[in-house]
Amino acid sequence: MLVFFNGKFTEMEEVSISPFDRGFQFSDGVYEVIRYYPKKFFEMEAHIDRLKYSLNEMHISFPHLDNIESVLHKLISVNSLTDELSIAYLQITRGHQYPRRHSFNENLPATFFISVEKFPAKTDNMTNGVRVGLEEDIRWLRCDIKSTSLIPNILSSHRAIKKGFSEIIFHRNGTITEGTHTNVCFIKGDLLITPPLNNFILAGITRKVVLSLCHKLGIAFEEKTISISELKDFDEIFLLGTTVEVTPVTEIDGISVNDGKPGPICRLLQNEYRKIYE
């Protein structure tokens, strides 16, 4: 597999990262995952803007990113993925610093890595819906930064799989925030409700696209806080994310949603979202 590492295309086996890289020692880095629909990367500019935001918030000196689209397309081409539904993974860490210290030099050259891989759509989940669980949100207070420090998300995802769930939805002091790797939307009547963006929630690219679709389709939407005590009152619930697109929730923490069936607004948004990349 050919990857992009610190300004050069190279074979994966030839990539060498110092054990003193702060990404390795501290998870001191940020990342993005961009969906590739043959023959185009989806919402490329929005993903790169979010990557720059994360880098700025982390005070990481980042490399030149203006040619990133050509780099990604070359990786897709040389890895024979031109006609395959795929993803690109971009990671930038603060870089190599010796000796190991909590404090850091703001002028360190960043470590920049990109890989691509085939990633089929989760069509069964999108068609039939998924079961999700609830957990207390114990993450740090800057979830708006797409940091590589993901241990709470990883452990929650592992517990979800063991319980037969596809996702865990976090709540902080009884208020819904987001999933381990998704945003979440709720439907009551004809109104779409989603938690407002703040430091507890990542500004999802799919979330932005779906709210734009709501505006286009005349679907009323509101960004407001939602408590876990309200969950039984909603007609539909669905997840939003780069790899899950728009995925209906049929059960949340034992509570059946819409009699265990995907709802009409979710279906409408799925179809309209699909039209964008097709």
Instruction: Confirm if 4 and 71 have CB atoms less than 8 A apart.
Output: yes
Over pLDDT 70: what percentage of the chain?
A: 100
Average pLDDT for 15-36: 97
CA neighbor of 116 nearest in space, from 166, 28, 41: 41
**CA nearest to 197, candidates 178, 212, 215:** 178
Closest residue by Cα to residue 196 from 184, 180, 209, 188:
184
Confidence band (pLDDT; 50, 70, 90) for 15?
very high
Strand-pairing partners, residue 29, are 93
**Could you tell me which of 9, 118, 17 has the C-alpha nearest to residue 67?**
9
Q: What's the longest Cα–Cα distance across the chain? A: 58
Instruction: Give the pTM.
Output: 0.96
Which tokens is 191 given?
């109104």
Structural contact between residues 137 and 200, judged by C-beta atoms closer than 8 angstroms? yes
Q: Strand 191-194 vs strand 220-223: parallel, antiparallel, or unpaired?
A: parallel
Over its C-alpha atoms, the chain yields an Rg (Å, rounded) of 19
**Cα angle at 185 between 179 and 188, to 5 degrees?**
140
The residue to which tokens 């998870």 are assigned: 27
* Contact (Cβ atoms closer than 8 angstroms) between residue 96 and residue 20: yes
How much is the pLDDT for 267? Answer: 98
pLDDT over 80 (residue 1): yes
pLDDT digits (tens, 9 = 90+) for 206-220: 999 999 999 999 999
pLDDT of residue 251: 98
Cβ contact 274:64 at 8 Å:
no
Tell me what pLDDT residue 165 has.
Answer: 98
- Domain 123-277, what fold? D-amino Acid Aminotransferase; Chain A, domain 2 (3.20.10)
Convert the pLDDT of each residue in 130-144 to its tens digit: 999 999 999 999 999
pLDDT at 63: 74
Residue 272's nearest CA partner among 218, 204, 220 is 218
* Range 89-102 average pLDDT: 96
Give the model's pLDDT for residue 155: 98
Q: Average pLDDT of 65-85?
A: 96
Q: 194 by DSSP, 3-state: which?
A: strand
**Of 21, 183, 182, which is closest to residue 91 (Cα–Cα)?**
21
Q: Could you tell me the two tokens for 123? A: 């069509």
In this model, does residue 277 exceed pLDDT 80?
yes
pLDDT exceeds 90 at position 64? no
Nearest to 54 by CA among 178, 170, 142, 180: 142
Banded pLDDT at 25 (limits 50, 70, 90): very high
For the chain, the structural domain boundaries read: 2-118, 123-277
What pLDDT digit, counting tens, does each position of 230-243 carry? 999 999 999 999 99
CA-to-CA separations, 40 to 36, 123, 166, in angstroms, rounded: 6, 20, 28
Indicate the fold that domain 2-118 takes in CATH.
Answer: D-amino Acid Aminotransferase; Chain A, domain 1 (3.30.470)
Beta bridge partners of 240: 183, 246
3-state class of 84 per DSSP?
coil
Catalytic position from the list 39, 52, 146, 188: 146
Question: What was the pLDDT predicted at 65?
Answer: 86
| 8 is a catalytic site residue | no
What is the separation of C-alpha 217 from the centre of its chain, rounded to a whole number of angstroms? Answer: 24
